[in-house]
Amino acid sequence: MASEQRKVAMTGNEAVANALRQIDPDVVAAYPITPQTDIVQYFSQFVSDGQVKTEFVTVESEHSAMSATVGASAAGARAMTATSSQGLALMWEMLHIASSYRLPIVMPVVNRALSGPINIHCDHSDTMGSLTTGWIQIYSESAQEAYDNVIQAVRIAEHPDVLLPVMVCQDGFITSHGIENLEILADEDVKQFVGEYKPSNYLLNIKEPVTFGPLALQDYYTEFKVQQAEAMANAKKVILEVAEEYAKLSGRKYGLFEGYRLDDAERVIVVLSSTAGTTKAVVDELRSKGQKVGLLKPRVIRPFPAEELVDALSGAKAVAVMDRAETFSTQGGQIFTELRAAFYYAKERPLMRNYIFGLGGRDTTTREIHKVFSDLENDLERGHVEKLVTHLDVRE
């Protein structure tokens, strides 16, 4: 039976740092970058106060942070790091090493725009740029979700059918630096939930020597990639199993996505992270006026839950997908492109359009969400979408 949870007001970063404290990983190697800095700062305080047993490695760059985390994880340690923006970009080549070694590293990412121009605020260009690195990606709406997702990520990553690294994303400054209500599990409950880490193959096991990072050319490279893809496919089931177990512990339910007032919704917005919360408020307002609107918030986008999202949107007549990053394909953002492709073989296809929004931290308020719902209404009257890709709230 779970102990009582503590009701606190914390920033998203403080919440994540506390999740790390409760997980008490063997190794954390990290380099500070705005807006992730607080996570590492709080955590280093926990280290110096003796609240965790973690070996904390200060490194000279994010490339080294990921390299050290990879090394520690390959050696058999439960290893974590955290980053944002340019830091994630600098890790790029090591991200592929982590996933191809099948290392269950958990990394909180505080989403921030990539330069240039230099910008420290939120958009998703950093993690959207790493969708092909073989990492599982989970997105969080609030400080509560960031906390819950980090704890669950440990179990997902380390599951023998998965063994893949996981990024747990939250919106820079918006949730990372704003304080809000959340409930924190008892330390003992988190410890039990994540359990003791028992790696199956690791370098320090001298009884069963293994090699990480061998040469695999035309002969075996393909098989490595196929296995990674299979592990990613397995992750869907594991994510749901872990969520179910976590719900029993915490009372908070998670899935591959969250549908909000979706059942009979004709007009639906699909959006990740903190903007999904703002959208909920608008959905409530429009519902109170009798309008059939809803929200679909993807939680996991690697693996991409294509069938599940199509199924959840099967009753929708008009769908607006909002992406917080440009792809420069001229065909819309990443979530839009993948979701539209997922509908290719569907019997019923809603009208679908895309909005690129909130770049570099541009504030997205209920006003912009109202505009999107109203655009969808006009599209339904018109019978086709007015414009495939719209940049939302741009100065004229």
Partner 1 sequence: MSKLLEIRWHARGGQGAKTASTLLAESALSAGKFVQGFPEYGPERMGAPIRAFNRIGDEPITIHSNVEHPDVVMVLDPTLIGSVDVTEGLKDGGIVLVNTTLSPEEMKKRLGGHVRVATVDASGISQATIGRDIPNTPMMGALLKVVDILPIEDFIERMRKDLTKKFHGRQAIVEGNINAIRRAYEEVKVG
Q: Where along the sequence are the contacts to partner 1 (CB under 8 A)? A: 7-9, 35, 120-121, 141-142, 171, 173-175, 177-181, 274-275, 277-278, 280-281, 363-367
Nearer to partner 1, 120 or 186 (CB): 120
The CB-of-91 to partner 1 minimum distance in angstroms stands at: 24
Nearer to partner 1, 25 or 277 (CB): 277
The CB-of-251 to partner 1 minimum distance in angstroms stands at: 14
The CB-of-258 to partner 1 minimum distance in angstroms stands at: 11
The CB-of-277 to partner 1 minimum distance in angstroms stands at: 4
* 2 token code pair: 């779970």
The CB-of-119 to partner 1 minimum distance in angstroms stands at: 11
- Asked whether 165 and 105 are in contact (CB, 8 A), the reply is yes
Nearer to partner 1, 26 or 180 (CB): 180
Residue among 120, 67, 75, 126 at smallest CA distance from 98 = 67
- Residues 326, 328, 334, CA angle at the centre, nearest 5°? 50
Nearer to partner 1, 242 or 269 (CB): 269
- Asked whether 162 and 235 are in contact (CB, 8 A), the reply is yes
Q: How far is CA 136 from CA 3, 95, 99, 389, in A?
A: 30, 11, 9, 27
- Asked whether 139 and 169 are in contact (CB, 8 A), the reply is yes
Q: How far is CA 156 from CA 118, 237, 242, 257, 283, in A?
A: 34, 10, 7, 16, 32
Going edge to edge, which strands form the sheet with 267-270? 257-260, 293-298, 267-270, 318-323, 351-356, 389-391
The CB-of-299 to partner 1 minimum distance in angstroms stands at: 15
- Asked whether 91 and 114 are in contact (CB, 8 A), the reply is no
Nearer to partner 1, 69 or 278 (CB): 278
The CB-of-278 to partner 1 minimum distance in angstroms stands at: 5
The CB-of-140 to partner 1 minimum distance in angstroms stands at: 11
- Pair type for strands 300-302 and 136-139: antiparallel
- Asked whether 136 and 108 are in contact (CB, 8 A), the reply is no
Nearer to partner 1, 15 or 136 (CB): 15
Token pair 């959905």: residue: 283
Separation of alpha carbons 157 and 235, rounded Å: 8
Q: Residue 330 gets which letter from DSSP?
A: S
Separation of alpha carbons 336 and 340, rounded Å: 6
Nearer to partner 1, 277 or 305 (CB): 277
Nearer to partner 1, 281 or 388 (CB): 281
The CB-of-35 to partner 1 minimum distance in angstroms stands at: 8
Nearer to partner 1, 245 or 363 (CB): 363
Amino acid in the structure at residue 343: F
